[in-house]
Amino acid sequence: METELVRIAGIGIVGAVLAVVVSEKKPEMGMMIGLAFGALALAIVAGKAGAVIQLINDSVDRSGIDANLIVPVLKVTGMAYITQFAVDACRDAGQNSIASKIEIAGKIMMLAVAAPIATALIRMVTTII
């Protein structure tokens, strides 16, 4: 796990320096380098995150909580992942308005996914009382 972190940090620094060198003449190329590094680093990390998710699913199955409560939680995490990636890419390109629109859309989508959990919770509480 640590070697991955060292590799990503190293590549990140090299990428940053290259981005500065290239974007002096061609700003759009510099942004491309940042975007490419972002996609690569997150792809590596997403691979590692799979193990964590597997662990969560196993512990949920053993603990007897019904599985379909966990699915929205994971989905919201994935959506946050993608929204953050898109927002950072747009901010790199200097398009703050586009970035904030993506952020708003992401929040609304996550709310839509998380709403059933809230209603399930409320129903559970009312049945207990």
Partner 1 sequence: MDVDLIFKIAAIGILVSILNIVLNKSGREEQAMMTTLAGLVVVLMLVVREIANLFDTVKALFGF
Of 47, 110, 118, the closest CA to residue 84 belongs to: 110
Select from 1, 6, 43, 129 the one that contacts partner 1 (CB under 8 A): 43
Q: Report the site for partner 1 in 109-128 (rule: CB under 8 A).
A: none
Residue 18 binds partner 1, judged by CB under 8 A = yes
Residue 92 CA to residue 95 CA, distance in Å, equals 8
Residue 2 CA to residue 52 CA, distance in Å, equals 15
Please, what is the minimum distance in Å from the beta carbon of residue 33 to partner 1? 5
For residue 66, the Cα-to-chain-centroid distance in whole angstroms is 25
Which of 7, 123 has the CB closer to partner 1? 7
Of 46, 47, 45, 50, the closest CA to residue 11 belongs to: 45
Task: Find tokens 């320096």 and name the residue.
Answer: 17
Please, what is the minimum distance in Å from the beta carbon of residue 52 to partner 1? 10
Which residues contribute to the site for partner 1 (CB under 8 A)?
A: 11, 14-15, 18-19, 21-22, 25-26, 28-30, 32-33, 35-37, 39-44, 46-47, 49-50, 53, 71, 74-75, 77-79, 81-82, 85
